[in-house]
Every structure is written in C-alpha cells, then in structure tokens.
Amino acid sequence: MKTTINQVSKYVDQEVTIGVWLANKRSSGKIAFLQLRDGTGFMQGVVVKADVTEETFTHAKSLTQETSMYITGKIVEDARSPFGYEMQVKSIEVIDEAKDYPITPKEHGTEFLMDHRHLWLRSKKQHAIMKIRNQIIQATYQFFAQEGFTKIDPPILTGSAAEGTTELFHTKYFEEEAYLSQSGQLYMEAAAMALGKVFSFGPTFRAEKSKTRRHLIEFWMIEPEMAFTTHDESLEIQENYVQFLVESVLSHCQLELNTLERSLERLEKIKAPFPRITYDKAIELLKEKGYTDIEWGEDLGAPHETAIAESFDKPVFITHYPTNIKAFYMKPDPNRDNVVLCADLIAPEGYGEIIGGSSRIDDLELLEQRYKEHNLSDEAYNWYLELRKYGSVPHAGFGLGLERTVAWICGVDHVRETIPFPRLLNRLYP
C-alpha cells in the first residue's frame, strides 16, 4: 500500500510504502534511526539489525542526507515521538543518492541559508512556516466567502499609484510607462461599487529602500473593500478576520506550531474585540514611556509601534492619524478635519503593523482638491474620480500584509522566512 506521512494514522500495524527523503539519521550498533520527510510531514523510520537483511541494515546506515527513496515497513504508534507514529523499516529502494548536501544539521549563518533558499525550504522549521502560511491563505478564502465577499483580481501592471509615487517599480509598457502594483485598492473600490463586498489576494511590489525585519520588496496583500460601510464596521470585520485566522491555525496546525515552539497561550488570547486607541492617545502613551523623538504630526516608526503593542496582549488599532501623513484618498473625520478615518492594526509582541485601512473619500469635490494638493495627474486618475460621480457611497477597506501576519502567528523574527523566495533590498536570487 502506497501512502504519505500525513496519512499513516490510518495504517497502524499495517505495512506501507512511502516516497521520502532522508532528513537526518543516527545509528547505534544495532539500530538506525532515519528522520524521513515526504513533503506532507516528518516521521522516524527505525531499522533494527535483527529484523532486516544484513545488506539492508548496512545500506540504511550509509544513506546520505536528502537521498530520495521508497521505504517500506510497518506503521506503529509511538507516544514518545512528537508525531505519534513511526515506521519499523523492512526495505529501502533508493531513487537518487544525494551527495554532499550543503545544509547539514549543524548551525549555518543566515546569508548561507538565504543563498540556499531553494534547499532551505526542505527544513522542518521552514516546512512548518509554509504550512501555516498556506493555512492562513485557506482561512482567508473561507472567511470572506462566509461573509459574502466576492474575490476580485486587480491588475498587476498599473498606470496609477495608490500609495504615493516614491516606491514604484517602473517598467516599459510598449510606448507607455507602467508600474508594478503597490496596492490594488483603487481598482477594488471600483469593484466594490459593482459587487458590494470584494477582496483581493495578490502580489504587491514596493521599491522601499528599507532593510528591516518587516520589509519585503515583493509581498502578498489581502485587500477587502466594502460599499455602504463605515469606519467602525470596517474595524469589526478586521478584528473578526484576524481572530478567524488565528483560530484556524490553532485548530489545523498544532504540529507546526509545536515545531516552531510558538506559545499557544498567547495565540489563544486573540479574540475580538481588539483595543482601539487614537493616534493622539498613542503619542501621549509614547511620551509617558519616555519617547522624546516623536511629535504630533509625525509618522510612528517600528520602535514606537512595538512600544505601544507592549501595553496590550491583543492586536491594537491605532486610529485617526493626522491627514498630512496619510494617503490622499482617506476620508477626514467629520468632527475634526486634521485627522482621517483610518486605522493601522499593530500585532502584539513587536511584530509591527499587519493591517492598514481607512474610510475612503466619497465626495467628488474633496477628492478633486486632494488631487491638486498631491499633484496627481487627472488623466491617470480620472476613472477613479468617476466612482464619485455615479452613485457615490460611503465605503471602506483595508490591506493585510500576509508575510507580517505569518511572522507574528508563527513567532518568526524576520519576514524573509515567511515567503518561499523573498525579494529583499539586496537579494533577487534564488
């Protein structure tokens, strides 16, 4: 019977064959312990000298790391192993013998591992992170489907910028100039006027010269946009969505969370509603904590976000930022026009901002005024203005950065480990 590691619980006390790679091994005189992986999981194979032919035992002891093979044996329950099962190996059929695999069980430096990302992905920790990333993507589709959203795919090649022009990747588009998308938001607003509640999930490109543990040049963003929706209603959707993601990982990825030694107790606390503080209050809090390097009107940096997050054990919304440090499309607070109806959601434990969102300006005249203030060309944005001419409605939306969310839920320090092939300031390979 051919099966996979994640299915072995169905075959206790039966003999099965699994296609595997050898992740690691150790042996004593009479027993060889093979750490096997097949992509679906990791499992130990035990080769007992007395139970196999002399040839099989010698062979098992000489297997090299990452050799691929079909391995056959009986599945047994084993309470001592984190996986709960192991294989009593009977025979081994090598497919390809790997020679001098560069990533050995010893410690390697980050640059070395990054140079070998195509192989590093095979390690147990990286496998766990990719599985959790996958679970978050699955849960995203599930959540928005059950909330009545339609998935919409905005273009990747664009003519207009959503988040300011400094971070754009330029490319030739025949005779014209185009940019790689830095947010699908403007298109999602058009889609929301057609389909009500929509969300996108796609690659996002930012030529940010930031070399921090939270910045990627290419990352993936989930961008919901909702017609007839207020700022507060949008915050409610956001906290329910984030709670749903965490619950989904907790219920489907126990093994992976254990591999990453993630504190379950901290994740179990992530229940809506999340605390909300205004930008004004955030500045006050920072002053109380002794930060003298920030004044009202300036954007918060990573250390400020971390300091604020320390006061809470759930993600915290910082709302109502000053108008002049936020994007042109954000709607002013009707009671106070020097701040906008926006919120950043800051993850706990220093993982930084995972969501940025706002209510959008729905008044034609005000939007036209903002175009002038921001020197935006009418031509490139004319279609966006038209959304305010034909049945404009209050609407809001947000963007969740997938990699930062994965980093937080996994408890991984740097976003470079949360995407299969990270694009960083100094890295385009592999």
Nearby residues of 283 by Cβ (< 8 Å), 6 or more positions away? 294, 295, 296
From candidates 199, 401, 406, 418, binder to ligand 4AD by CB under 6 A? 401
Residue 219 touching ligand 4AD (CB under 6 A): yes
Stretch that binds ligand 4AD, among 103-111, 138-146, 233-241, 352-360 (CB under 6 A): 352-360
Q: How far is the CB of 137 from ligand 4AD (least distance, A)?
A: 15
Q: Which string of DSSP letters, residue by residue, matches 241-263?
A: HHHHHHHHHHHH-HHHHHHTT--
Stretch that binds ligand 4AD, among 50-58, 92-100, 353-361, 372-380 (CB under 6 A): 353-361
Residue 422 touching ligand 4AD (CB under 6 A): no
Stretch that binds ligand 4AD, among 34-42, 239-247, 281-289, 355-363 (CB under 6 A): 355-363
Whether omega for the bond prior to residue 430 falls within 30 degrees of 0, making it cis, is yes
Residue ranges of the alpha helices (H) in 253-297? 254-259, 264-268, 279-288
Residue 403 touching ligand 4AD (CB under 6 A): yes
From candidates 223, 256, 333, 362, binder to ligand 4AD by CB under 6 A? 223
Cα angle value 373/281/299 (rounded, 5°): 40
Q: Which residue has the tokens 């984190």?
A: 82
Stretch that binds ligand 4AD, among 98-106, 169-177, 313-321, 395-403 (CB under 6 A): 395-403
| Strands 157-158 and 176-180, bridge-based pairing | antiparallel
Residue 183 touching ligand 4AD (CB under 6 A): yes
Each residue 285-324 as x (binds ligand 4AD by CB under 6 A) or -, in order, gives ----------------------------------------
Residue 189 touching ligand 4AD (CB under 6 A): no
Q: Which own/partner contact pairs does 370-375 have at CB distance under 8 Å and 24+ positions apart?
A: 370/328, 370/329, 371/328, 373/328, 374/328
52 vs 387, beta carbon nearer ligand 4AD: 387
Cα angle value 119/412/289 (rounded, 5°): 155
43 vs 221, beta carbon nearer ligand 4AD: 221
Residue 238 touching ligand 4AD (CB under 6 A): no
46: Cα separation from own chain's centroid: 36
Coil, helix or strand for 67?
coil
Residue 191 touching ligand 4AD (CB under 6 A): no
From candidates 162, 249, 277, 367, binder to ligand 4AD by CB under 6 A? 162
Residue 353 touching ligand 4AD (CB under 6 A): yes
* Rg from Cα positions in the chain: 26
CA dihedral for 347, 352, 355, 358, sign (positive or negative): positive
From candidates 38, 66, 86, 163, binder to ligand 4AD by CB under 6 A? 163
Stretch that binds ligand 4AD, among 149-157, 228-236, 238-246, 396-404 (CB under 6 A): 396-404
Cα angle value 280/403/199 (rounded, 5°): 80
Residue ranges of the alpha helices (H) in 44-196? 54-62, 110-115, 117-120, 124-146, 185-195
Q: Which string of DSSP letters, residue by residue, matches 77-112?
A: E-TTSTTSEEEEEEEEEEEE---S-S--SS---HHH
From candidates 73, 154, 348, 399, binder to ligand 4AD by CB under 6 A? 399
Residue 355 touching ligand 4AD (CB under 6 A): yes
Residue 233 touching ligand 4AD (CB under 6 A): no
Angle, helix 378-386 to helix 185-195, in steps of 10 degrees: 20
Binding interface with ligand 4AD (CB under 6 A): 162-163, 183, 185, 206, 208, 215-216, 219, 221, 223, 353-357, 397-399, 401, 403-404, 415
